Amino acid sequence: MARTIAVANQKGGVAKTTSAVALGAAIAETGARVLLVDLDPQASLSYSLGLDPDSLDVTIHDVLVGRVPIGKTIHQLAEADVVPSNIDLAGAEAYLLTRTGREYAVKTALEDIEVHYNYILIDCPPSLGVLTINALTAADEVIIPLQCEALSHRGVGQLLETIEDVRRITNKHLAVRGIIATMFDPRTQHSRQILDDVGRRYSLEVMQPPIRKSIRFAEAPRAGKSILRYASTHPGALAYREIARSLIA
């Protein structure tokens, strides 16, 4: 049975996809079987691992509207297996709103293939809509990437309210594993204050170490690689490996 982790934050630009890709790659480096699920119509995860979303024949969209089983969409890539996405997924979101049991569509799809994996990581869209609810319903745990600035901080409270709703209605066992501090600048007092405050305010673990700002994180997706494969010894790659080890432990 796979351990399923949703990587979620309704605020965009907080390195959510970067974190999902890097953690998936880091866990796979240990020999675990890892599946990454791109649940964002922007398809950033798919693109970041070298796929062209616009040329794909089938994606998670086709799974959610009942055209194909999820196994037919899996791409076996160098760093991990991937269920890709593209802009069609925005249509699946509208379709799901009309369906009975819409919150369980992703969970039901994953049941067909989870026996083949040790870990499934779901990259959520930057919203609290039906796709994110699906990811949270399917997940055992949530990881929240947090950019160390005030607006990202505010979004954590909104996400935690949604997680409480999911626990009450569709997934009572859902746990919040912790926060990953991204784009961290240790030179600024603001970054340090936000990081300290969010852990105390919400009683959440801030996973260590924080991920420092670097242009390498912008370069890696253009090469179709995670930061671990693009710049294996970069401090950001080492930081994600350390966080992945704590997840496995």
25-46 residue pLDDT tens: 999 999 999 999 999 999 999 9
pLDDT band at 150; cut points 50, 70, 90: low
pLDDT band at 190; cut points 50, 70, 90: confident
Tokens of residue 136, six digits: 């949270």
**SS3 of 232, please?**
coil
The range of the structural domain enclosing residue 72 comes to 3-248
End-to-end CA distance of the chain: 17
Question: Within 13 Å of residue 230, how many CA atoms lie on the same side as its CB?
Answer: 23
Q: What is the mean pLDDT of residues 4-25?
A: 95
What local confidence, expressed as pLDDT, does residue 237 receive?
Answer: 97
pLDDT surpasses 80 at 192:
no
Domain count, the chain: 1
What local confidence, expressed as pLDDT, does residue 87 receive?
Answer: 96
CATH assignment of the domain containing 99: 3.40.50.300
Strand 75-76 to 81-83 pairing = antiparallel
What local confidence, expressed as pLDDT, does residue 156 receive?
Answer: 84
The angle formed by the CA atoms of residues 13, 54 and 214, to the nearest 5 degrees, is: 30
What local confidence, expressed as pLDDT, does residue 65 receive?
Answer: 95
pLDDT surpasses 70 at 152:
no
